[in-house]
Structure 1
Amino acid sequence: MIKVLVVDDEPQIARALRINLTAHGYEVRTAADGAGALRAAASAAPDVVVLDLGLPDMDGGEVIAGLRGWTDAPIIVLSGRAASADKIAALDAGADDYVTKPFDVGELLARVRAATRRRGGDAEPAVVTFGETNVDLAARTVHKGNAEVRLTPTEWQLLEVLLRNPGKLVAQRQLLHQVWGPGYDRETNYLRQYMAQLRRKLEADPARPAHLLTEPGMGYRFRP
């Protein structure tokens, strides 16, 4: 049975996650603060950690650093902090994924499944190649031909979401939530602007993209 450690100081959220994860066959432990999370992780050796950043005794970033000192278990941050700087800081500290509150339980369960699949050996490729572009997801670098391509943090986040879902339609709302956070559901102009920038930087013919595709009225798709 896959073990999940849920770390959140909001009892209703921790309870809801415990119920839903248990119903889907996971063994669940919970902790309400950072110290408890580190103790639980040391004793239970979870396969996945779902971690809130706003804990009462220490910042979630410190918990990530503490966990990364001895375990490579996937860490999915579940936080009300929607700013890009918070997401980047958590990912740079060692988190594997970032979900903003309020969240969809079904989406979070899908993230947990994806994290456990990757850890179980069905890993996503570290480098994604399309056309003349090579994206190293681990090193967070992009090259087109022999030249390095500089992406803004927002461009990188948008590209990463699409590359981690090859061939799949990623809805506008999902992209807006994951990249910009809740409250941006209607800001589809952001997506148009940043997708145009990515195409100019990465596509051979930005006017006729072959890989970063628009599904009108629905979302976007990465075609390898």
Structure 2
Amino acid sequence: MADCGCRLPEPLHAVFDTAARSGIPDTAVHRAAHQAILRSFASSARPPSPAELADTVGADQEQRAGVLAELARNDVTGLDTTGAIRLADPFSTQPTAHRVRISGGATPWAMCAVDALGIPAMLRTDAVIESADPRTGAAVMVEAAARARAGDTYPARWQPRHAVVLAGARPVTGPAASVCCETVNFFADREGAEEWSRRNPEVTYTVLDQEQAVRLGIRTFGTLLGTP
């Protein structure tokens, strides 16, 4: 499912394949809750409130808590110590290196560079992704014309024009946030990505060109809201 015309580090296959399959139990209530969470982030940059979720899921407080816990166990969402939603891949409630200005929507944080590229595909709308090269701090921007999506790609304008995505994974086990979210980043160019990798030898990585990165974002998130 995560095939993008490149060879990803093995831990990333599991992470992106789980996201692409949505990783949720195949029940109407879990699907409804998951999609309500994603749509809330897209429209307001925050997860739904308990009352908003109740309107969608139609369950009592104990049942809603159980649904959220099950989504978290399947690495679809992440909860804080109070049981509140703190992330729902590809979105984060906390600041990250990647912001996505959704056309006609909100400006949420994305968990990683591939997640950011997948958001406009998931919503089938244009967006501007703003990030920074973690090595130099140089701005990286992608103007995603996802309304013109054709199959597994969409037109995009990258600045700088030689920007790439480094898809890396740390040698740990656990949720995606621990394995790779901080090591899947935009870089201003391939040379900078390779230099960063040399300074972080514990990270297993692949450098994705622009087309590969867009395709991976689409394959991972493009159908989570049922968009063909």
- TM bucket (normalised to shorter chain) is under 0.3
Q: Which has the higher contact order (CA 8 A, sep 6+)?
A: 2
TM-score, with structure 1 as normaliser: 0.27
TM-score, with structure 2 as normaliser: 0.27
